[in-house]
Chains A and B, each alone.
Chain A
Amino acid sequence: MATPESLGILLRAQGRTRRRLIVNRIFEGSVVVAAIFAIALLGLMVWSVGSRGSSALNWDFFTKGPAVFGQAGGGIAPSFVGSFILVAIATLFALPTGVLAALYVSEFAPPRIANQVRLWLDVLNGFPSIVIGIFVFALMVKVKIPVIGIGRHQSAWAGGFALSIIMLPLVARSTMEVLKVVPSHLREASYALGVSKWQTVLRVVLPTSLGGILTGTTLAISRAAGETAPLLFTCAIAGNFVDWNPARSMLSIPLTIFEYSESPDDNLHAQAWAAAFVLIVVVLVTSLTARLLLERSRRKLGAAR
């Protein structure tokens, strides 16, 4: 049988070609190694949080307040309640503002102004969260706000407001992205029936994009739930008990992790790991679900087009 070798044809690369293939191999190898490295880091982090955090988890952790300093046991129930209230306040401010701003950009604004709004929202998104903490501190904690009467001290209102500034650009930008893929023939059909603009927006555009808006908001919430820096000066000094009054300062999960991690007490370290475990599970699960839903609703809208 005539194999290529027997005919004297070389199938193995030599010389320059060989060198090029080797360089290519090195490139491919290093790229794969980089990706594995990044995933290994994530895995390592989740693994250490999981293994150290799950051991400190028990029923008391979710239902009880912190133990007296130096004693074992106790939980972080006040932080759970606090985080819930803070995030609720933040969503209350950021969701309507963000969605309306996005509607303005996609439905009403002339392109030049729309670009400006988009630009400044991106700038806001790029601001360090600690600076937003300083801003709200100077605005609501240091001075008393006339009329409403909040201020002069830390409160859940102030903390929630700071978190809402983090959420606002995220909600607005994700809503804009969803509104962009709402098929224009839906709008046109509505107009052709003589429906006015506001009715079209409320009854056609918003319902079509509702799923996407909700997933965007969920992502923003999961980001806000993990933010520590904006709360540091706006809602940090609080009593060790469950408190539902937003006019008072309250504990929160990220801040509890931060403070426990800097303390010398081993029991508190264990609790910090447990709190981090809960936080990371909540954040990862919500963001993963939101992402999957977003993918689905985008595909659905794409199919409708």
Chain B
Amino acid sequence: MEAVAINPLKRTRKRHDRIGDGLLYGLTALAALIGILVVFAIIWRVAYGAWPAIKEFNVGFLWHNQWNATLGEFGARDLIIGTVVTSFGAVLIGGPLSIAIGLFLSELAPPSVRLVVGTLIEMLAAVPSVVIGLWGIFVLAPFDAQHLQPILGRTLGWIPIFAHGQDRVESTVFTAIIVLTIMVIPITSSICRELFIGVPTELEEGSVGLGATRWEMVRTVVVPSVRGGVVAAIILGLGRALGEAIAVTQVIGNFIPLKTSLLEPGDTLASRVANQYQGAITNIQVSSLIYLGLILLVITFVSNFLAQRVVKRFELQRGG
């Protein structure tokens, strides 16, 4: 028999070992398969649930701007804009802060501080979103309305997005942006720290040896050599912000149509689903909400895939 010639060990193996190997292989492969299948089951089930709304409203849903349960008219435009504005706002504030924190932990802090601060920031990631939302409602939102908004209104009020009315609004898009920033920082900064620590010490020492200051070393050596990774870290943070439902729905005010100013209530895709699902009665409303979920799924899917690709390319560069 040919098989024996190729693998002489096979004959000596005991029968229960063959069964054991096969069984363990089968079980582990099945578990891995389940992991992959869940992803596709989610995509399929959400698309299937959204199907009635897709048939009814078509792609026009994306730019139609109505959300009226009694008339049965639904559209997602302002929710998509709300999601994009809040998430990008959070990344715009959280991204640079995270890079700075990463640089502090990798280049400046002494080892003991590095460990403590690094752990603390990672613990910020472990705080459940509903707790951040609770804090957002009762601490951040009032502070925002009483102190931040008047300042912003006075100094930047001439820009339409910071226009500030007479009455103080507690639930605002701006508050949601700050809440999301708090959720973005731990993810992005801990990845950035890992990246900066990974920069070869010889490169850094070479730069310092040539007389560069710390800032010049960071600008010319550290950051350029991990640029792709930093971009990916920011995209991963963005993914977190895009999909956050609970904390946002607690502070944003759940209101469309969207106003121009950030200091007014708004809404996002995830937040609307979280807020209205329980109250949804008609099938078409439920389906429209699932449609929102589908849009959200596509957006986060694309952004995460993008991050993966950037990381992959970056790893290849590193290896080469």
Residues of A in contact with B (beta carbons under 8 Å apart): 20-21, 23-24, 26-28, 30-32, 34-35, 37-39, 41-42, 44-45, 48-49, 52, 96-101, 103-105, 107-109, 116-117, 119-124, 126-132, 134-135, 137-139, 142, 165, 168-169, 172, 196-199, 201-202, 222-223, 225-229, 232-233, 236-237, 254, 257-258, 261-262, 269, 272-273, 276, 279-280, 283-284, 287-288, 291
Contact = CB atoms under 8 A, between A and B. Distances in A.
Q: Is the interface of A mostly helix, strand, loop or mixed?
A: helix
B81 interface: no
A108 B45 contact: no
Interface in B50-91: none
Contacts of A97: 31, 34-35
Contacts of B17: 196, 198-199
Contacts of B108: 28, 31-32
Contact of B300 (A128, A169, A201, A226): A128
A135 B123 contact: no
Nearest to B212: A20
Interface string B217-245: 01000000000000000001001001111
B172 interface: no
Contacts of A269: 138
23 contacts: A31-B103, A44-B139, A100-B32, A101-B34, A116-B36, A117-B35, A117-B36, A120-B39, A131-B293, A134-B273, A134-B290, A134-B293, A137-B277, A138-B45, A139-B45, A198-B20, A198-B21, A258-B130, A261-B134, A269-B138, A273-B134, A279-B131, A283-B127
Nearest to B44: A135
B305 interface: yes
Contacts of A23: 213, 215
Q: Which 10 A-B residue pairs are closest in the complex by CB-CB distance? A: A128-B243, A226-B128, A100-B31, A104-B28, A34-B100, A126-B304, A196-B17, A27-B215, A198-B20, A24-B213
A279 B137 contact: no
A227 B105 contact: no
Contact of B128 (A26, A28, A228): A228
A135 B133 contact: no
B148 interface: no
Interface stretch (B113-121, B151-159, B161-169): B113-121
Given A123-B305, A138-B290, A130 B131 contact: no
B246 interface: yes
A24 B6 CA distance: 66
Given A127-B42, A130-B296, A287-B123, A34 B97 contact: yes
Nearest to A197: B21
Interface in B3-18: 13-14, 17
B245 A129 contact: yes
B243 A127 contact: yes
Contacts of B218: 27
A169 B34 CA distance: 11
A283 B109 CA distance: 27
A113 B55 CA distance: 37
A138 B117 CA distance: 42
Contacts of B270: 128, 130, 229
A196 B20 CA distance: 9
A120 B35 contact: yes
Among A138, A227, A283: residue with most chain B CB under 10 A = A138
Contacts of A41: 124, 182, 185
Contacts of A45: 127, 131-132, 135, 182
B32 A42 contact: no
Given A126-B239, A197-B24, A280 B293 contact: no
B30 interface: yes
Contact of B46 (A138, A279, A288): A138
A128 B315 CA distance: 26
B1 interface: no
B316 interface: no
A222 B126 contact: yes
Contacts of A39: 117, 120-121
B130 A257 contact: yes
B49 A138 contact: yes
A35 B28 contact: no
Contacts of B25: 104, 108
B201 interface: no
A103 B28 contact: yes
A123 B239 CA distance: 11
